[in-house]
Structure 1
Amino acid sequence: MPQLNPNPWFLILTLSWLTLSLVIQPKLLSFMSTNPPSNKTSTTTKTTSWTWPWT
């Protein structure tokens, strides 16, 4: 059964991942703009306790 022989397929898999991670991924990431972090002030919300009718 030739599909169980990992010799040619492991090399193809390794070269594919190296190509993706070293060549294609940086080119794609340069086109995507990320949102700059913004300084948000934290707002505190006032919570009221629940009034239970049986207490």
Structure 2
Amino acid sequence: MPQLNPSPWFFIMVLSWLTFSLIIQPKLLSFTPINPPSSKVLATTKSTPWTWPWT
């Protein structure tokens, strides 16, 4: 059964992994995000507990 022979599929997997790691990934990592995260401290709002009518 040919699907049990790992020889051609292993080569394709290694080739695609190397292509991603060596060519595509450095190009993607060179981009800077459009909206970088800010160091602004988020203000916490005080919430009042819900008053249940049956208590």
Query: Which stretches of structure 1, 4 residues or more, deviate above 6 A after TM superposition?
Result: none
Q: Specify whether residues 48 and 10 from structure 1 end up closer, same or farther in structure 2 by C-alpha distance, changes over 3 A only.
A: same
Q: TM-score normalised to the size of structure 1? A: 0.65
Calculate percent identity across the aligned residue pairs. Answer: 72
Report what 1:17 is aligned to: 17
5+ residue gaps in structure 1? Answer: none
Query: Structure 2: where are the runs of 5+ without partners?
Result: none
Secondary structure at 2:11 match in 1 = helix
Q: Does 1:50 align with 2:29?
A: no
2:5 corresponds to which residue?
5
Q: One-letter code of the match for 1:27?
A: K
TM-score (norm 2): 0.65
- Aligned CA-pair RMSD: 1.9
